[in-house]
Amino acid sequence: MTRKRRPPIAPEDFRAAGGLLDRRIFLAGGLAAGTLSSSSAGAEPLSVAPWMKTPGSPFTPYGQPSRFEDKVVRVWTNPPNAPGTGAARTPLHVLNGTITPNGLHFERSHSGIPDVDPDAHRLVIHGLVRRPLVFTMEMLARYPMESRIAFIECGGNGGSLYQKDPAQLNCQGLHGLVSCAEWTGVKLSTLLDEAGMEPSAKWMLAEGADASGMSRSVPLVKAMDDALIALYQNGERVRPSNGYPLRLLLPGYEGNMQVKWLRRVKLTEEPTMTKDETSKYTILTPDGKSLQFVFPIEAKSLITQPSPGLTMKGPGLYEISGLAWSGYGKIAQVDVSADGGKTWAPAALQQPVLPMALTRFRMPWRWNGGPAVLQSRATDETGYVQPTRAELIAKRGGKTIYHFNGINSWGVDESGEIKHVYA
C-alpha cells in the first residue's frame, strides 16, 4: 500500500505569522523527505533491550503507571494548620487527549477527604417536597443510569492571572484546577420527581458529608435539566478525592457547586446563602459590589504543549496542542497565534466535540528559532469569544480570583525556554 506524501511545506501552507501552518498539514500524510529528517551520520546499530530477553513482571490487582512516569503527579497547596484543605492540580502539560486519569483529576477539598463507608452513607432529599426520601447506596445502584463526559473546573482556576505581574508557574500551577472525566450515575431529576417537588421550590441546597459539610445552593432548573448523581468516574467508582461514594455533577458549572460526598438535597424557595456562595466564589468588582451566582464557566482555552518546562528542542516543525472548554455548550472554534495575538489561524478540533467537555485542539507550527508569544482563543457555540486578559480585567478589575477566562500567553525565547507572560 502506498500513501500519497505531501510536498514539503510551501509558502501557501502558512496561515498566520510566526510559522503557524494549515491545520490539515499533519492529516495529509507524511511530509516529503528533507523536511524533518535529521542527520544519520555515525549512528550505532539499535540494541535489543534486556526486557526483550526475560519474562516481564506478573499480574497486579490494580494497574499503576510506568515507574518512568513518576513525575506525572498532582501538586498541591494548603493553608497552615489544614493539610486537607486546599487544592491539588492536574498536570495538564504532561497529559494528552481529553480524559483525565482518575488519580490525576484535580481536587479541591474544604476539610480533607472523608473516609465514607458506603454502607453507612445515605442520600436524603427533603425540604419543599411531598415525600422526603432517604436512599441507601444499594438503592441508588438499582436506578437507571446515564453517562456523560464533562469537565469540572474550580471557580478559582487561573486566579493568579488577575495579578499585576505574570506568576512564574507552569500550566499545572496556573491552570491545573480543570479536569474531564466520563461520569456515570442517576439523573437527579428522577429522584426529585419521586419526591414530588412543591410549586414554591426554586432552589436546592446540596450538602456534602465531609467535615466542613460543604454546601451550595443550586437553581432547581439546573437540577432538573442535566444534574447527575455520579457514582462512577471513568468506569470505576468515584475516587474518594472526588466524592466517593457519590458526587453531584452539574455540567458546565463551577466545581464548588458539584458537591462531593453528597448526603443531602434540600429544596428551598430561596438560596440558603451559604459561606461558599457569599464570602467565597463571588466576584468583587472595582465599584465595591460583588457578582453573585456566577455559575457556568465561560469559554476558555489554554495551550498545554508547548508550555513552561517543556523547552523547545531547536527550530523545526512542532505540534501546538491544548484544551478548550465552555460551560455554555460546545466549543465552535479555537484560533492560535504565535505573535501575541496580532495574527490568528484556526486550529483543528479533535472529535468528538462534546458540550461542557474538554476539547483538544491541535495546530502545526514551524518554529524558526526566534522569539514567539503563543496564545489560543476559544469561541463557543453561543458565539461567545474568549476575551484577552486586558479586556477581562478592564471589565472586572483585579480584586478577585474567580472565573478567570482571559487569553493565556506563553513567551518562547531564542533558547527555546518558555515562560508565562502577559501580552
Partner 1 sequence: MYTPSRSIALALALGTVCSVGCAESPNLGRVATPEELAPWDISIGPDGAGLPAGSGTPRQGEAVFIAKCVACHGEKGAGKPNDQLVGGRGTLAGDQAPVKTIGSFWPYATTLFDYVRRAMPLNESKSLSNDEVYAVVAYLLHLNGIIEENETIDARTLPKVRMPNADGFVTFTRGK
DSSP state of 10: -
Q: Does 375 bind partner 1 (CB under 8 A)?
A: no
Q: In the bound complex, what is the minimum distance in angstroms from residue 4's beta carbon to partner 1? A: 46
Single out the residue of 286, 352, 370, 371 in contact with partner 1 (rule: CB under 8 A).
286
Q: How far apart are CA 265 and CA 262, in angstroms?
A: 8
Q: How far apart are CA 26 and CA 211, in angstroms?
A: 51
Single out the residue of 55, 58, 80, 314 in contact with partner 1 (rule: CB under 8 A).
80
Q: Do 181 and 213 touch, CB atoms closer than 8 A?
A: no
Q: Do 151 and 179 touch, CB atoms closer than 8 A?
A: yes
Single out the residue of 99, 284, 317, 353 in contact with partner 1 (rule: CB under 8 A).
284
DSSP state of 125: E
Q: In the bound complex, what is the minimum distance in angstroms from residue 334's beta carbon to partner 1? A: 21
Q: Does 342 bind partner 1 (CB under 8 A)?
A: no
Q: Does 401 bind partner 1 (CB under 8 A)?
A: no
Single out the residue of 94, 180, 197, 299 in contact with partner 1 (rule: CB under 8 A).
197
Single out the residue of 133, 145, 169, 385 in contact with partner 1 (rule: CB under 8 A).
133
Single out the residue of 125, 180, 320, 407 in contact with partner 1 (rule: CB under 8 A).
125
Q: Retrieve residue 381's grid coordinates.
A: 457555540
Single out the residue of 27, 167, 273, 390 in contact with partner 1 (rule: CB under 8 A).
273
Q: Does 110 bind partner 1 (CB under 8 A)?
A: yes
**42 torsion bin: left (phi>0), alpha (psi -120 to 50), beta (else):** left
Single out the residue of 27, 36, 82, 390 in contact with partner 1 (rule: CB under 8 A).
82
Q: Does 348 bind partner 1 (CB under 8 A)?
A: no
- Find the part of the chain contacting partner 1 (CB under 8 A) among 99-107, 207-215, 352-360, 372-380: 207-215
Q: Do 232 and 215 touch, CB atoms closer than 8 A?
A: no
**Of 63, 148, 158, whose CA–CA distance to 99 is shortest?**
148
Q: Does 153 bind partner 1 (CB under 8 A)?
A: no
Using DSSP bridges, classify how beta strands 262-268 and 122-127 pair: parallel, antiparallel or unpaired. Answer: parallel
Q: Does 67 bind partner 1 (CB under 8 A)?
A: no
Q: Which residue is associated with the grid cell 466520563?
A: 182
Interactions with partner 1, residue window 35-54 (CB under 8 A)? none
Q: In the bound complex, what is the minimum distance in angstroms from residue 186's beta carbon to partner 1? A: 9
**Of 308, 364, 10, whose CA–CA distance to 166 is shortest?**
308
Q: Does 264 bind partner 1 (CB under 8 A)?
A: yes
Q: Retrieve residue 319's grid coordinates.
A: 505540534
